Amino acid sequence: MKKHIIFAPCIAAMVFLLNGSFLAEEPVSKKITFEIAKDYEACEFTITTEKEGNFDVALKPENGVETYTGSIEESNVCSVSVEDVKAGRWNVTVTLKEQENDQKENMNGDGSDQDPAGEATEETDETLIETEDGNEEMPAGAEELIGKIQVTAKAIDKTAFSMGNVQVARDIVGLQLYFKDHAIVAEWTDTSCGNVKVSVINTYTDQILDTKTVSGRYYEYEIPELVSEITVDIVPATSSNITGANSRFDMEVKNDPDAEITYEDKEYVNTDTIPVTVELSETYSLLFVVNGEEVKETGLLAPGEYVYDIPVTEGTNEILTYVVDTDHNMKSTPYTVIRDSIKPALTLDMEYDGITTYDDTITITGTIKDYDTLMINETEPIVAGDGSFKSEYILRDGENQLNVKATDLAGNETLYTAVVVKAIKETTLRDYAGPIGIVFLLLVGIGVKLWKRKKGEPQEKEKTDKPEKEKKVKKKPAPAQNEKDNRKKTVLIYLIVGAASVTISYLFFTHVIIGGWIPSSSMEPTLQVGDYAISNGLAYLKHEPQKGDIIIFRHADVADGETLIKRIVGVPGDSIMFIDGYVYINGELVYESYLPEETETNSFKDFENIPDGCYFVMGDNRENSEDSRFWNDPYVQKSEIRGKLLSVIPFARLKETVQDIF
């Protein structure tokens, strides 16, 4: 059975409820015992109480008959003189005086008071204790109304001369015994009792488990597992040699409150507090201790479920939640949690945001520390022992958002976001000047040969119409050498004519009229894939390129010297900005009639003061065009321009039209 014991022999005030009235069986009193070591002719005893009030004092030898009395009136001290003091144990009893009724005219015949309403009441000398929640509990006892009792004595002779002090036993005020988990705890509030000797004994075997002289006001001893009942012996060190001065308490080792404590199932947190759920089946109070420091305490709680937020600090937190019963017995439920508010340390080897690439993949490298998981979008890269990682991510056409996210066990998150643009590789305007020239020359050669043959037929006929006589003159065939020479001359003529045709054709179709197929969608809707574009290579001999011109050109940022086709948007001296998907030139919004209204033009940067001889170009398909916005050198120089679009043969659309018809 759980016990809460206050050291000091006393007669507790017992109050019970009977017919709606509180009846006092006995007055509140407290008794202490002390030892007189030898006989004296006379002694003057001084009795002091901790509390002030009106008290009756009775002094009596334990084996004697006569009682010596005194009185304390609105004070806390009185003196009692005794002659012929015998050695042995003496008792001092201090009793709270009963309150007198000043309104005797209201007393009825049976001694009870009569209130104005005529109802009988009874006066008691007990005061109710008010709890923390304002409810009244049990009547106050001796400790609350009388407190600690001290007795001092001086030996005197019969002529009243002082002979010296007499050693007496000491009281320990505010002594409490209770269990704390599987340990017995003794603590007291008395600061004047000096050192206290505490012994813990196995009640069943009389084995002394622990003996210690305590200089402070707290004693704790962990009880062995197999011990079920103990005896606690406590005495002030100054009275330890006085027989009977000690106090003994038998206690059953039992500390099992009917309550359940639940913590979050987490080893790490990143919050300032953690929730603790407490379910009580009886009336208890709670005490929360974090790393040995009390952080929260409650009053008595009715049965039910309660949730409390308990503060935690950075690092390891050892948490104990104590359930405390009305006898002050304490049972703890432990929990360890680590608070970590520091985010994972993520370092990337380069800045990936804003990168534009033609590659199908991008490799992301860096280091990570103090983390639990690392993800790049939906991919988890392999991290080496030193924290370094390398991951290849597959890109789709256009913008790709990369989220590199590292999280730790506490839930802290480090997020790096980058937008990487995979540009559609511009399939160049295919230059068919060479093939067209060769075909042209072949056709010319065939034509010349056919013409010569046709021209030579009449000559042969004329030869046959000559007189027979003349024929006979030329009967001998020409030498074979002459025929061989004629063939060489013919071949040489063909080679010269062919070379000249190739050269003229090449120069014409690469510098004057330049044709080629449109292989990509970067100029849609103006130019469709499959259209055939014809450009004027001499357009800018006397004129400067203008805004809106569609040009063919080569650029240093395009591999293999391939030819591109784009539209001029900015000319020398212009400043270009991109705001909310719109193009601003020299601070003014530009309306581009050749684009659909819903077209958005975006860029990661602006371009100020285009240099002389340079031009800013973009494809009409603004969301899918690799152009000046993304090149290292954003401008096309005039020397790189090959021509201006002259005409378009819409083969792609003609094909669709024919397919629709048939």
Amino acid identity at 469: K
Question: Of 566, 625, 628, 644, which one is the catalytic site residue?
Answer: 566
Question: Of 522, 535, 625, 628, which one is the catalytic site residue?
Answer: 522
- Tell me the C-alpha distance between 165 and 153, whole Å: 6
Burial label for 196, CB within 10 Å (0-12, 13-18, 19+), is buried
**C-alpha closest to that of 125 among 20, 244, 14:** 14
Residue 518 and residue 529 in contact, taking contact as beta carbons nearer than 8 Å = yes
Burial label for 325, CB within 10 Å (0-12, 13-18, 19+), is buried
For residue 183, count other CB atoms closer than 10 A to its CB: 14
Backbone angles phi, psi at 373, to 5 degrees: -130, 150
- Tell me the C-alpha distance between 257 and 228, whole Å: 17
- Tell me the C-alpha distance between 68 and 86, whole Å: 14
- Token look-up 């929730």 returns 275
Coil, helix or strand at residue 554: coil
Helices (H) and strands (E) in the chain — how many of each? 5, 45
SS (H, E, C) 204-244: CCCCEEEEEEECCCEEEEECCCCCCEEEEEEEEHHHCCCCC
239 tagged catalytic: no
566 tagged catalytic: yes
- Tell me the C-alpha distance between 478 and 660, whole Å: 66
Q: Are strands 268-269 and 330-339 parallel, antiparallel or unpaired?
A: parallel
Helix (H) or strand (E) holding 249: strand 247-252
Report the interhelical angle of 433-464 vs 480-511 (nearest 10°).
150
Coil, helix or strand at residue 488: helix
Q: Known catalytic residues?
A: 522, 566
